[in-house]
Structure 1
């Protein structure tokens, strides 16, 4: 059959699901590769001390490329498969990293970041898609949420590399970290060769025997007669036959009844994850802590590193319990908490700060109020912790599991493109915002978080613990503005019920083919 992967590796869904997360880690590497150089003297000399608008443009170049990459997934993931798309993203990242490492001016740096962004856009869209299609429903949320954990690890590891290299004089202090970030991408592209293709993609491309074998290796220790394997196989077959009767795959499918609502939820989920303000605390944490009154480059780096460690640590509970706690409670509680912390940060900044100067630029700063400085730092840490345990992992899990098969690749890429569109806008807008409206920037993000909380409560149904095919039944119930009414047992089927549904759909497809022939 020529499976092209190692059954021994496929036998452990945790290994299969978690290795692909290296693709998510690429985004994390980029975040701290920028935040770690914002006050690096060699970086500032090489790129002529970019002002707030120029620095925003440099940072925004990566999400601009990611937006394009996320949209390309719609075609690539369906045409060459989920696995090969992940492999391609790794090699594109290597090219972008080489250009960044060798850059001698802003234009070259921006070009490298756009290419790296293309890789991140591909990986951030296809990795959750791949994970959701190869994992059993009982642990799907846990494994897809590891995408976010990989991002936090990428941020942390790259930041400490930046921290260590900051003691090196000259341009090597930022070129070495930018060069080292190629290593995870190379491991990703080489390692994915030994992993299986998505069984749902195989089924959708007429390779049913391979799909059954992959399911058996993943969920049945190689036993094709395993009850769970048979149930999943029959449900996937039924769904594939059903999708084939719905017509050709195209972007217009995203606007059909029954799908458009889910596209709105997926895009909204990714939009709120950006408007929550988390990237203010990631990309521009240096500016946040400077404004809080932390002086000295080393002191700022240490304060930043604590935040990144907390980001990694607090993502772990979400990974372990996301399938037990559910998606809705995490979204509602997390957005509410983040709104509260942002309002406190803005309030403390507004009460104790004033216009001053940092590194020759006008900035809103706090001076002589150690209690206020500590309060802002603590609130910033708590804001990051709130995101790490809620919106962070769920924002990748939820869009990957709510779409029907015929539009899943396109819909997930469209949702992820929304993430990068807002990431681009915020990455560019935040530095000028902090330079012009200062502490009021935090009030804006706090308001967004409260608005997100209301939206999550009314419109986002629970999807935890259900197969991707059972999720179809959830949205068939309706409840567009009363998501809390979705019943817990919706969509549950036995093996015999799944087989019967498959037979009915096969007969329906056969009849349609006869009619078409006539």
Structure 2
């Protein structure tokens, strides 16, 4: 049976979701492993510094894997890049499970990280290139919801194994990673390659066949399929004419403002990572242990994971309705508020006011709910939308690498901050969330509901926009038998001046034809 239409969209989203579930599981699994006494014995009773390295070195592997993926994904294709990432991750999982000392565990963590880094850089690109424009946010938000489910699975699995003695309690959770990796690799064989990658590499017939499966009952002559294909073809032809494909082009302004987009992609991921989420995620059990037993702390951590999931589910229904920018604002304001309250509560607990403990727990969970409903998905969705086809894999690999770099930085500095300045740690991250409102307001354009090719026009210079719209007009003329009259109507194949869509209605007030309506980079 050949998947097509909504079933194919759903299958692609589900595969991406498994990838993010694996990502989340990897993120959460070590919090319980490092607390296991048998693990501590096998690692030779490592110092806090060495234990921190065992945990954090994974992010360096992810950073390297993400950074290497751009060229690999462009050469091999999105699906083969995902399979390669899964293969490396499974090898790393086996090595972690079999580790007998700290050096072996460190190497295994790096290998696992490389595989996961490759997947986290490739999967959002694949999903964005297959998803329908008006539901792209919802599809990515569903996948990132599974990221939180993965974290919750790790927490609850380790909570159950807390009552099990012996090596099984820490080796099994590490081995279980391989199950998700194998499932993801197998799923990729049942799904088509990205139509944009196919078109860019000269596989025009295959591209049209995939579009026919996505947008019709496998009819390559369906008007919607033809329109989508022409839009993709025109965009790729112009990119190839401008010779846009190298890493050097990512850092040049040029006609497509690529440097601006890199700053947005990297900036969005750093905002997510330096907004306090990993201060909460990595050290939430430790924070809870300051006022309760290890058993109860793990239980509270598991409950917090469920709250996190509810927040993530919320984003599925809001991200395409409210748009990216509104969720960015709401997330930053809410995170700043809740971190400030958590910091105040920790101060009160520190001076002996135990009554502040319940409030501290509630607002930690409120922070995670807010993050799950906003920046969890936004930081992964936005970079996959804003780059051109020729540079999407490379640009997204850089933004994903920035995510892992930020992850590593927080993992390294958070323990030092907690030890030296205590509750001020939360207050500092609260302040940073308010600072991030400034670049979001001035520099992040809205992408809600637009095709990837239309998002391209938000950033492009006027000359490039005119070329694209002119070519679309010619293509529409061939389809309808008459030239379209308003260049903003081309996408809809309208050939009547009376029914033409006004440019302002098509682009909106903030996406004028002169490029980004933001200061500093246009």
What TM bracket, shorter-length normalisation? 0.7 to 0.9
Correspondence for 1:436: 420
Aligned ranges 1:347-358 → 2 under 5 Å: 347-353=344-350
Correspondence for 1:422: 406
8 Å contact from structure 1 (residues 6, 195) kept in 2: no
Correspondence for 2:513: none
8 Å contact from structure 2 (residues 54, 105) kept in 1: yes
Q: Is it true that 1:65 corresponds to 2:61 in the alignment? A: yes
Q: Is it true that 1:160 corresponds to 2:149 in the alignment? A: no
Correspondence for 1:105: 101
Deviations 1:7-43 (A, max 9, x none): 4588531221221221222221112211123432223
Q: Is it true that 1:327 corresponds to 2:324 in the alignment? A: yes
Q: Is it true that 1:449 corresponds to 2:439 in the alignment? A: no
Q: Please, which moves more after superposition, 164-173 or 461-470?
A: 164-173
Correspondence for 2:27: 31
Q: Is it true that 1:205 corresponds to 2:201 in the alignment? A: yes
8 Å contact from structure 2 (residues 4, 214) kept in 1: no
Q: Which runs of 5+ in 2 are unaligned?
A: 463-485, 496-522
Q: Please, which moves more after superposition, 219-228 or 8-17?
A: 8-17
Correspondence for 2:264: 265
**Within 1, Cα distance between the matches of 2:158 and 2:425?**
27
**Within 2, Cα distance between the matches of 1:136 and 1:191?**
20
Aligned ranges 1:173-192 → 2 under 5 Å: 173-192=169-188
Structure 1-normalised TM-score?
A: 0.87
8 Å contact from structure 1 (residues 73, 413) kept in 2: yes
Displacement of 1:495: 5.1
Displacement of 1:218: 1.3
Displacement of 1:310: 1.0
8 Å contact from structure 1 (residues 10, 196) kept in 2: no
Q: Which runs of 5+ in 1 are unaligned?
A: 355-366, 479-488, 499-518
Aligned ranges 1:284-323 → 2 under 5 Å: 284-291=283-290, 293=291, 295-323=292-320
Correspondence for 1:144: 140
8 Å contact from structure 1 (residues 125, 413) kept in 2: yes
8 Å contact from structure 2 (residues 244, 391) kept in 1: no
Correspondence for 1:486: none
* SS of equivalent to 2:221: coil
**Within 2, Cα distance between the matches of 1:248 and 1:127?**
22
* SS of equivalent to 1:466: coil
Q: Please, which moves more after superposition, 394-403 or 27-36?
A: 27-36
8 Å contact from structure 1 (residues 60, 427) kept in 2: yes
Aligned ranges 1:330-345 → 2 under 5 Å: 330-345=327-342
Q: Please, which moves more after superposition, 196-205 or 134-143?
A: 134-143
8 Å contact from structure 1 (residues 53, 432) kept in 2: no
Correspondence for 1:214: 210
Displacement of 1:53: 2.6
Displacement of 1:464: 0.6
Correspondence for 1:374: 358
Decide which of 249, 252, 255 is 2:248's aligned counterpart.
Answer: 252
> Residue 51 and residue 430 in structure 1: after superposition, are their counterparts in 2 closer, same or farther (change >3 A)?
farther
> Residue 116 and residue 274 in structure 1: after superposition, are their counterparts in 2 closer, same or farther (change >3 A)?
same
Displacement of 1:373: 1.0
* SS of equivalent to 2:109: helix
**Within 1, Cα distance between the matches of 2:377 and 2:369?**
12
**Within 1, Cα distance between the matches of 2:151 and 2:55?**
15
Displacement of 1:261: 0.6
> Residue 348 and residue 11 in structure 1: after superposition, are their counterparts in 2 closer, same or farther (change >3 A)?
closer
8 Å contact from structure 1 (residues 23, 90) kept in 2: no
8 Å contact from structure 2 (residues 62, 116) kept in 1: yes
Correspondence for 1:281: 280
8 Å contact from structure 1 (residues 38, 286) kept in 2: no
Decide which of 52, 56, 70 is 1:74's aligned counterpart.
Answer: 70
> Residue 41 and residue 459 in structure 1: after superposition, are their counterparts in 2 closer, same or farther (change >3 A)?
same
* SS of equivalent to 1:103: coil
Deviations 1:356-380 (A, max 9, x none): xxxxxxxxxxx5x332111111110
Structure 2-normalised TM-score?
A: 0.86
The structure with higher relative contact order (CA 8 Å, sep 6+) is: 1
Deviations 1:406-462 (A, max 9, x none): 211111101111111111111122122222222121122112211112221221111
Q: Is it true that 1:398 corresponds to 2:397 in the alignment? A: no
Deviations 1:473-501 (A, max 9, x none): 222379xxxxxxxxxx9966425489xxx
* SS of equivalent to 2:355: helix
8 Å contact from structure 2 (residues 4, 218) kept in 1: no
Stretches (4+) displaced over 3 A: 5-11, 48-52, 489-493, 495-498
8 Å contact from structure 1 (residues 270, 416) kept in 2: yes
**Within 1, Cα distance between the matches of 2:442 and 2:137?**
21
* Alignment root-mean-square deviation, CA: 2.0
**Within 2, Cα distance between the matches of 1:40 and 1:286?**
13
Q: Please, which moves more after superposition, 34-43 or 59-68?
A: 34-43
